Amino acid sequence: MSIKQIVDQALKDGFLTPAMESEVGKICDSASELSLEEYMALDRLMGALLEGEVVSMPRKQFINVMEELVLGEAIARVAEIEQTTDNNLDIGDIAAYALNRLPPLYATTEQGATYQRQRAREELQELISHQVRSAIGRYLDRPESIGELIGTVGKGGEITEQISSLLQSHATDYEGERSILSESLL
């Protein structure tokens, strides 16, 4: 989005979101020089903010307590594995996999975060541990390279044949649709 588009949207909506503000900042930081149109748009925005036509939305601070708990569990399990093996595991990948399978626990205050942590320890700790173990298992089972992945499928021309037969078994009237598509492209 351009500065002008962001300003037009803010004027239309009556508010400037933190995302809009951030985008304007990125554009200003990355541009060596702003155009006259961009300066005029920024001037319109400043005037609208000063007159109250546009309200700047405050940045709401919140945290997902589940992220803290999953990271803590992942770090502990990965440390155990890395002490006994030569495996180097990516904690970010493991945490993301587990987080995608767990409910978020958002809080906006420290009191709320403390409540969410306690609740999670009492009600969700077993589920958190299970999802982290599952994520580690998936991470360790993944192929290291595309060559390893291809090696598990087959070698040489077999891959093409396997893909073709897979498509034929899952796509009804595979050859008929293929010929119709070929004719339409001509």
> How do 106-107 and 55-56 pair as beta strands?
unpaired
pLDDT attached to residue 62: 85
C-alpha closest to that of 95 among 120, 126, 123, 128: 128
Which amino acid would we find at residue 113?
Answer: A
Token representation of residue 48: 């609208």
The domain spans of the chain are 3-56, 63-141
Using CB atoms within 10 Å of the CB of residue 54, give its burial: 0 to 12 exposed, 13 to 18 middle, 19+ buried: buried
Note down pLDDT in tens along the chain; length 186 residues. Answer: 889 999 999 999 888 888 888 888 888 888 888 889 999 999 999 999 999 999 888 776 888 999 999 999 999 999 898 888 888 888 999 999 999 999 999 998 889 999 999 999 999 999 999 999 999 999 988 766 555 555 555 555 566 677 777 677 666 555 555 555 545 555
pLDDT attached to residue 151: 56
pLDDT attached to residue 111: 92
pTM of the model: 0.52
